[in-house]
Structure formats: structure tokens, C-alpha cells
Amino acid sequence: MDKNRVPPLQDKQVRFFTHDREGILLRRPNRFLIIAQDNAEELVCHCPNPGRLLEFLFPGVRLILEKRQATKGKTGSAPKTNWTVGGVYHRDGVAPLFAARANHVAEALILNHIIPGLKELHPEYTVGSSRFDFMGRDAANRVHLIEVKACSLVEHQVAMFPDAPSVRALKHLEELGDLSTQGYCGHVLFVIVHGNPRVFIPNLHTDPLFAAGLSRWASTVQIHASLVHCNAQGEVCLVDPSVPVDLQHGELAEQNRGNYLILLELPEEKVLCVGSLGTRTFVPGWYVYTGSAQKNLSQRINRQVKKIRKTQHWHIDYLSPHTRTIKALPIMTYRNRECELAGSLHELGGKAIPGFGCSDCCCESHLFYFAEPPLESRAFVDMLLWYRAHFA
């Protein structure tokens, strides 16, 4: 147990999930499905959180499984999978994955702390064509509309939401903003479900539109972040109802600039002529390329992940047509950290491809070879999240 862990604010607890079984993660075929193993038995499990969950779901991690029941509202209807992944053992604790159950936690533990005098609380409340998680009135009879978001990405003492682009979250925010100008009191509550963050920020790296919107509407919509902790039995307690919220980086999100990593999987050996570098041999495996764009970052990334291009301008243009998969990892930054990223890739054991992508600096290379998939390496993901947490 972490000696620095903050003690619970109160003894009251609610349940996030039921601990019925444990398993070891084998793979995640898609956003909603996880294949686990308990002893020699392979278990097909529902994943209740469709986010990327890069920091959690490494092969071999321990999972807490909840037995699935018949589908609500469909008597006798059997679930498609027998188990749901309720939580994952992470660092020194447990991170619950039931994002949809954050509403129950918010209602039972948090809302009365962040909105004093709250009464007449109604879930799933509709205003016009918009539906919100809660509506309530305070002692002055003011109407409060509340959206609740579960935040599971907490690394390097920074909590970030979302971990993948969320059109739905932006839509809710804009609807709240519009209604707040009409006399309603709008709130967005981020329920941070584990860790000990010193601050909450919108994740401008994975969803710059939402990050910019949150900064833009901050003077109209009240933004809250609250921390809860969950034990292995699924019991949740409130630790801090008011985690500091930092919304000052919305301008950076709108500026669309920073750095990026491109992950390329090469299925077979290739001998390629790479422009002025001449002929190079690329062995099968994974390659990670680091680059930068001081403007139009998203457009640069979109170009870099295309396998076929009309012109070959960068060194990576010669390699990408021969890859099986290409994945981009953006990192919004105020200054160019391309060379720092190259140094970090080298420290992780990446084998430098001499001269590749570094003709305008003193680095040995900006392309590094890895024998195993980088995103299945906790050290690689931790490095990525460190840069995303220290972008200023």
C-alpha cells in the first residue's frame, strides 16, 4: 500500500462492482471484449469501458471479474459473455472499469459536496432534445443540470479525460453551455476512480476539441473533479471532492502543434533505398518514429500514417508503404521535444536506424527498432504518458 495515499474523506461506501473471480489478461480483440485466463480456462469477458486503456491492459495483468446477469428489461435473455471486467490491479491499488456506474457513485458520495443544499435529485433528466445525468434544485430553488464522466487515466499525478476522442462528451458540454446562458446552472463532474492526482486536466493530446471546449465554457459551466478509491471487493469511498482543475491549456489545444510518435509494424525484411541515406535493410518488427509540427499537427499526423503518398518527402515515406500497421500517438507541447523523445526511445532499448529522420539536428536517429510491440510494454506507455503529463 502506498504510504502517501490520502485517507478516505468519510466511511460511507458504495459498490462499483462485485468481485466474483479473477483472471489474467491475454488480449483485447476489440474495445468491448477482453480474453482472460483463470488457470487453464479461457474466459471471454465484456469490457465495460470502451476507452483505449493503454496504461492498464498489458498481457499478464490481473483482472477482477464480475458474473454477468441476464440483460435488464429482457426477461431470461442470456448475456453474450459470462463475465465483465469490473476492475484491474494497477500500481498499488485497483482501478474500476465500469464507467457507466460512475453516476451511482456520484449520486451517493459526491453531488452533495460539490453543490451545497442540493435536493430533488432526478437522474436521466431531459431538457428539450437534451438528456443529462442529473437534475437537482438547491436551497434557492435554482435548477442544476449535471453531467458525470468517469476518469480512469491517472498517471504521474495528473488525471486526464478522455483517453480517446469523445464526440459525445463535447456534445454534452456544448448543450450545458447553451442552457447555462438560459438560466440553468450547468456542471460537469469528473469522477477520478483511482490514484492520487495533484491536478485534473482535459486530455488535449487525444481530444483537443474537447479540451478547447472545456476551457471555452469554463466561465459558464462549473467544472468539478472528485477522487474516489476502490478496493478489490469493488467498494468505493470518497477521498477528495475537490481535486484542482487546470483549464489554462485550451489555447494550446486550439493551436494544434506539438510532437508525435508513429508506430510501424514491418512484417518481413525489406531492403529499401531511403532517399539520400541510400540503401538500408529493415528487419521484421516494430519501428517508432518521432517527429514534430509547430502548426497543423493533426494534418501532419494524418499524412504520416498514409501508406501511399504522391511524393516521398520525409525518410518515413520510404518505409511506411511496406508496413502492416501504422499508429500515431500525438503529444501536444509548447516547445519542440522531438530530440528528447528520440533520447527516451533510445533509453528504452530501441535500436537506432542511423541518420533516419534527423538531418536537421545532431541526433543519431529519430527512428528506433523494437522487436516486440511497444504498446504492450509498460515502460513505453509510461514514457508516453510522462510526456503527455509534462507537456508545458
pLDDT of residue 309: 72
Domain that holds residue 224: 100-253
Task: Kindly report the CATH number assigned to the domain that includes residue 235.
Answer: 3.40.1350.60
- Between CA 72 and CA 113 the distance in angstroms is 31
- Between CA 205 and CA 14 the distance in angstroms is 33
Indicate if 249 and 261 belong to the same structural domain.
no
What count of residues does the chain have?
392
pLDDT of residue 62: 98
Q: Domain boundary at 59, 94, 129, which? A: 94
Q: Give a yes or no: residue 9 inside a domain.
A: no
Q: Give a yes or no: residue 262 inside a domain.
A: yes
Q: Give me the DSSP letters along 66-113.
A: EE--PPTTSTTPPPSSSEEEEEEEETTEEEE--GGGHHHHIIIIIHHH
Q: Give me the DSSP letters along 246-302.
A: --TTHHHHHHT-EEEEEEEEE-S-EEEE-GGG-EEEE-SEEEEEEEEESS-HHHHHH
Question: Along the 392 residues of the chain, how does pLDDT read in single tens digits?
Answer: 343 444 444 557 899 999 999 999 999 999 999 999 999 999 999 999 999 999 999 999 999 999 998 665 555 556 789 999 999 999 989 999 999 999 999 999 999 999 989 988 999 999 988 899 999 999 899 999 999 999 999 999 999 999 999 999 999 999 999 999 999 999 999 999 999 999 999 999 999 999 999 999 999 999 999 999 999 999 999 999 999 999 999 999 999 999 999 999 999 999 999 988 999 999 999 999 999 999 999 999 998 888 777 678 889 999 999 999 999 999 999 999 999 999 999 999 999 999 999 988 999 999 999 999 999 999 999 999 999 999 98
Domain count, the chain: 3
**Is the distance from CB of 380 to CB of 348 less than 8 angstroms?**
yes
Indicate if 190 and 313 belong to the same structural domain.
no
Indicate if 278 and 212 belong to the same structural domain.
no
